[in-house]
């Protein structure tokens, strides 16, 4: 039976350390600050923004919430980002995605000062990650690496199979595993013989968004399974991309959904914001 990787407990521990860091910075008058920008009123985005806001408050991080109307023009949003880039109180800027269709998402991301890009989505940060010299690492993949570290997984020489190639999860996590000397295979919707590839993995990272599509019997005995997927079944149950119950009998360690990768994303956002503030202290 696999060990269950408790993302909630790991995340709580990390948040305590982050809060202690914030206290130390605040004592020097250098409280870290995060600006969260929400355009429109997508219910899921609103929930995420509220969660981020609450997490900041709990950690003692100064936060600004900018809620803009669905009809906001690209020029208005870019003007706000420009102000936040120059705001001394702000160390991190997060624009909640997706954006309404009149706004060019790439243009918005590229307008954020890369030194305040705590989401790690700016091409400068993506490039630095690819070059093996990261500044800000995207929060979900960064959280996955922390979970692996906390579980004592050494990736050197391991076969890692990442299922999914999105810019926010699949690609960056693959680069991070490569930087840790793993041999990495990235799979996607056109990959042939997915089951066979997964079966060769010492570590499987699933970031697809399809309920339980990775079957338990695909998993190699003793493999580590990180399930990033968040899916709702017809019965409204929250499940991952991996058939958890079946994989549990084969894996050596596995993340549950919920309570695995999910809690880590906001934790790493807080960590990046604090890191950003600390960098400004350096000459
Ligand atoms: P995307 O939809 O951007 O990417 C999904 C990827 O899965 C694509 O690369 C796609 O391939 C691939 N894919 C789709 N179908 C298959 C298939 N049948 N076989 C193999 N690969 C397939 O999703 P995200 O990366 O944004 O998110 C993935 C999941 O992770 C979602 O459930 C999301 O909710 C969750 N998530 C969770 C977070 C957390 O905090 N825990 C944060 C971010 C995401 P192709 O490129 O060919 O289309």
Task: Calculate mean pLDDT across residues 197-218.
Answer: 98
Cα of 234 vs centre of ligand 1, distance in Å, is 19
Q: Does position 282 have pLDDT exceeding 80, yes or no?
A: no
Angle at 77 between CA 110 and CA 72, to 5 degrees: 135
Q: Give percent of the chain above pLDDT 90.
A: 98
Nearest to 274 by CA among 13, 25, 32, 15: 32
Helix, coil or strand: residue 181: coil
Residues labelled as active-site residues: 52, 96, 119
pLDDT at 159: 98
- Burial environment of residue 235 by CB neighbours within 10 A (0 to 12, 13 to 18, 19 or more): exposed
pLDDT at 283: 59
Instruction: Kindly list the protein residues whose Cβ atom lies closer than 6 A to any atom of ligand 1.
Output: 140, 163-166, 168-170, 187-191, 194, 207-210, 228-231, 261-262, 265
CA atoms within 13 A on the CB side of 89: 6
Cα of 238 vs centre of ligand 1, distance in Å, is 16
To test the pocket of ligand 1, the residue of 164, 193, 194, 255 to mutate (highest count of ligand atoms within 8 Å of its CB) is 164
- Cβ-based neighbour number of residue 200 at 10 Å: 14
Tell me the residue ranges of DSSP E strands in the chain: 3-4, 33-39, 62-68, 92-95, 159-163, 183-187, 203-206, 224-227, 231-232, 238-239, 253-254
- Residue-range domains of the chain with CATH: 28-113 (3.40.50.10860), 139-262 (3.40.50.720)
pLDDT at 29: 95
pLDDT digits (tens, 9 = 90+) for 146-196: 999 999 999 999 999 999 999 999 999 999 999 999 999 999 999 999 999
Which residue's CA lies nearest to atom 34 of ligand 1? Answer: 230
pLDDT digits (tens, 9 = 90+) for 59-117: 999 999 999 999 999 999 999 999 999 999 999 999 999 999 999 999 999 999 999 99
Chain length of the chain: 283
């Amino acid at each position: 039976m696999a060990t269950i990787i408790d993302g909630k407990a790991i995340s709580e521990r990390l948040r305590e350390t982050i809060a202690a860091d914030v206290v130390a910075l605040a004592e020097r008058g250098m409280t870290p600050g995060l600006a969260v920008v929400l355009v429109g009123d997508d219910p899921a985005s609103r929930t995420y923004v509220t969660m981020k806001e609450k997490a900041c408050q709990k950690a003692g991080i100064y936060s600004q919430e900018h809620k803009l109307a669905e009809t906001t023009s690209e020029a208005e949003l870019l003007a706000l980002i420009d102000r936040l880039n120059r705001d001394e109180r702000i160390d991190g800027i997060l624009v909640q995605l997706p954006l309404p269709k009149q706004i060019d998402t790439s243009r918005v991301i590229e307008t954020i000062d890369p030194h305040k890009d705590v989401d790690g989505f700016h091409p400068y940060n993506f490039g630095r990650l690819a070059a093996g010299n990261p500044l800000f690492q995207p929060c979900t993949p960064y959280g996955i690496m922390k979970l692996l570290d906390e579980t004592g997984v050494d990736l050197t020489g391991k076969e890692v199979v990442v299922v999914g190639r999105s810019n926010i999860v699949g690609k960056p996590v693959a680069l991070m595993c490569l930087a840790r000397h793993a041999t990495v295979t990235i799979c996607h919707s056109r990959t042939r013989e997915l089951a066979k590839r997964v079966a060769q993995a010492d570590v499987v990272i699933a970031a697809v968004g399809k309920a339980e599509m990775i079957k338990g019997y695909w998993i190699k005995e003793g493999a580590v399974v990180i399930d990033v997927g968040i899916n709702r079944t017809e019965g409204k149950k929250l499940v991952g991309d991996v058939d958890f119950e079946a994989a549990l009998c084969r894996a050596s360690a596995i993340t549950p959904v919920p309570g695995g990768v999910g809690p880590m994303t906001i934790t790493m956002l807080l960590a990046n914001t604090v890191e950003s503030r600390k960098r400004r202290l350096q000459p």
